[in-house]
């Protein structure tokens, strides 16, 4: 399952603290980089999101929990949709473009 994990740096947390925590957790092996499909930051790093592959939410929380004092997280399960396949299915269902 794929999880959309949106984050925002908490008030009082500094970019340096987040960077340091990332390195500490990496060294400890708790980031589980094999599960992180992608990671995006907004310019400045105060917010962003990660796409994490995991069987259930407890697996995701194992990765995110060490950061909860620095980052606020919103987590949602997502389903990947291939655009052209989705359009094909909608057309096969008889849906038409409104005029």
CATH value at residue 29: 3.30.70.1060
74: alpha, beta or left? (left if phi > 0; alpha if psi -120 to 50): beta
This prediction has a pTM of 0.83
Structure tokens at 53: 């592959």
Residue reference for tokens 């907004």: 42
| Number of domains present in the structure of the chain | 1
Structure tokens of 67? 């950061």
In a domain, 40, yes or no: yes
Local confidence pLDDT in tens for the 99 residues of the chain: 999 999 999 999 999 999 999 999 999 999 999 999 999 999 888 999 999 999 999 999 999 999 999 999 999 999 988 999 999 998 999 888 787
Half-sphere exposure of 91 (CA within 13 A, CB side): 7
Residue 99 lies in a domain: no
Q: What is the domain range of residue 58?
A: 2-92
Q: How far apart are CA 14 and CA 18, in angstroms?
A: 7
Q: Is residue 45 part of a domain?
A: yes
């Amino acid at each position: 399952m794929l999880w959309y994990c949106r984050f925002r740096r908490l008030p009082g947390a500094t970019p340096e603290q987040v960077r340091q925590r990332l390195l500490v957790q990496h060294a400890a092996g708790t980031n589980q980089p094999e599960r992180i499909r992608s990671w995006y930051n907004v310019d400045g790093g105060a917010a962003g999101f990660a796409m994490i592959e995991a069987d259930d939410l407890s697996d995701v929380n194992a990765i995110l929990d060490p950061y909860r004092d620095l980052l606020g997280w919103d987590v949602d399960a997502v389903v990947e949709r291939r655009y052209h396949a989705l359009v094909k299915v909608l057309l096969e269902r008889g849906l038409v473009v409104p005029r």
